Every structure is written in structure tokens, then in C-alpha cells.
């Protein structure tokens, strides 16, 4: 960076910002290392500033909100989302990105036990997509969000809010429309469907979905997806002596998954 200037410096800085954003996503969602993710996001934000790219700045700032949001630190998450929205306005963000910002804040609010606010944010995101200009270009690097992903956020929030029937309907719709190559997200959706059935008092059905999630994990490993399955297993504690739960345990506690769980 120090040896470049002008357009070359701007191009390099933008590429560096995108790279740090991707690295931070891997650190947070795949490796479950929030501190490393935070460091990557800070460096990415610095590079986005060098590139004077407000939309990249908004994306990175919104990702930083996941860190306190998943830890239940509501005020810190809200502050980072306010900053992300300010950068989005500065960059004239397209409707898809504005909807994603709502979805990120909704997930943070869900983790902070405020599902009412989360559902309101998701409803707003749906309206933004319905009323927005479909032809407005979106940054090429923003390839992680679609209306189907928004529905996935919604299904998880409905589940945690206790709206079991609605969550089941939403998540089944997501599963039907999810691209075949989206293995990581498929694991999360299957895990959420298992949790829905556990919450509905249908443990055998919950185990069926959880086993499908484990099948997908064997193809595409995703730490966040494994967390979903562990959460389901906790919900199944009352049926721990049933054969279908024991079979699930046998699959969950193989050498690799057991070592991974103990390292957390």
C-alpha cells in the first residue's frame, strides 16, 4: 500500500478490504474465533477507508456487529449497526444491501432475546425488497445474501420466538428454494427444522432432520451448522434413552466432532 498511489492505490485497497472481510467471515463463522475476526474486520475497514468505498465499509461494520450480537451485548451491536447504516446511506446502498442490514440486526436482536424487534426488522427487510429497485446494481462481492437467506433468518427468529408452526412453514419453504450448492446454509436450515420438531414434542422427527444435517456436514463442514445440531440435542435431553436419540449421539460423538466440542 505504501508503494502505490492514485488509482492503483484505490484498487489495491479495495481488494485488500474484500480479502479481510472474507478472512473475518471465515474466522467468525467457520473457525469460531471472534477475536481474530474482529482484528480482520478492523484491518478491512482501514483498507476500505483507503479505497473510500462506503459500501465496503458498511458491509464490514455490519459484520462486526455479529461479534457483540452473538455474545448478547445488545448496545454494542446496535452501535455498530448504526455506523453500518450511516455508511450505507453515504454509498447509496441498493435495496438488497439495506435488507441485509435489517437481517443482520435482526439476528443480533434474536441472540439478545428480543425476538419482537427482530421480527419487526425482518418485516421491514421484506418490504424493502418488495418496494426496492430490482435493477439497482449491487456490489459484486456481496454474494452471501438473497431473499431466500432473509427467509432463513426469519425462520430461525420465529423458532426462537416460539412460533413453531410458522417457523416450520418458513424453513420448509427455504429448504425447497435453497440452491443445491449452498451446503453450509442447508446444514443450518436442517438444524433449525430439527429444533422446530423438538420444540413441537416430536423427537423422532427432530432426529431425522438432525441426521440429514449431519449428512450435509460430512460433505460441507460448517461450525455454525454443528452448533445448531448441538442445540437440538440439548432440546432432546428428555428423550435421551430412546433409540433414535442414542443413534443420533453415536453419529454426533465421533472422534472428530468430540474433539472439536471439547476444544471450544
Nearest alpha-carbon partner for 257 in 226, 220, 232? 226
From residue 237, how far is each of 105, 198, 199, 254 by CA, in Å? 31, 10, 12, 19
**To the nearest whole percent, how much of the chain has pLDDT over 90?**
82
pLDDT at 177 over 90: yes
- Listed in sequence order, the DSSP H helices in 162-264 are 164-177, 183-199, 203-219, 223-235, 243-252, 255-263
pLDDT at 206 over 90: yes
- Per residue in 104-119, pLDDT tens? 999 999 999 999 999 9
Kindly report the pTM of this predicted structure. 0.90
- Per residue in 218-253, pLDDT tens? 888 888 888 999 999 999 999 999 999 999 999 888
Phi and psi angles of residue 218, each rounded to the nearest 5 degrees, phi first: -70, -20
Amino acid at each position: 500500500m505504501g508503494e502505490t498511489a492514485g488509482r492503483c492505490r484505490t484498487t489495491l485497497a479495495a481488494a485488500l478490504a474484500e480479502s479481510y472481510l472474507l478472512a473475518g467471515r471465515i474466522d467468525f463463522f467457520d473457525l469460531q474465533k471472534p477475536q481474530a475476526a474482529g482484528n480482520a474486520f478492523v484491518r478491512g475497514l482501514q483498507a476500505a477507508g483507503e479505497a473510500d468505498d462506503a459500501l465496503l465499509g458498511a458491509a464490514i461494520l455490519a459484520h462486526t456487529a455479529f461479534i457483540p450480537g452473538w455474545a448478547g451485548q445488545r448496545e454494542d451491536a446496535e452501535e455498530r449497526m448504526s455506523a453500518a447504516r450511516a455508511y450505507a446511506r453515504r454509498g447509496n446502498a441498493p435495496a438488497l444491501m439495506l435488507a441485509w442490514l435489517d437481517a443482520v440486526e435482526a439476528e443480533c436482536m434474536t441472540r439478545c432475546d428480543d425476538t419482537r424487534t427482530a421480527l419487526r426488522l425482518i418485516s421491514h427487510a421484506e418490504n424493502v425488497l418488495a418496494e426496492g429497485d430490482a435493477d439497482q446494481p449491487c456490489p459484486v462481492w456481496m454474494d452471501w445474501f438473497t431473499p431466500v437467506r432473509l427467509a432463513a433468518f426469519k425462520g430461525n427468529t420465529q423458532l426462537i420466538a416460539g412460533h413453531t408452526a410458522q417457523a416450520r412453514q418458513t424453513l420448509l419453504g427455504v429448504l425447497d428454494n435453497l440452491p443445491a450448492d449452498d451446503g453450509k446454509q442447508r446444514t443450518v436450515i436442517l438444524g433449525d427444522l430439527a429444533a422446530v420438531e423438538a420444540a413441537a414434542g416430536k423427537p423422532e422427527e427432530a432426529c431425522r432432520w438432525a441426521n440429514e444435517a449431519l449428512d450435509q456436514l460430512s460433505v460441507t463442514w460448517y461450525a455454525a451448522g454443528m452448533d445448531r445440531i448441538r442445540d437440538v440435542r440439548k432440546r432432546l435431553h428428555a428423550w435421551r434413552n430412546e433409540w433414535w436419540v442414542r443413534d443420533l449421539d453415536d453419529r454426533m460423538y465421533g472422534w472428530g466432532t468430540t474433539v472439536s466440542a471439547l476444544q471450544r
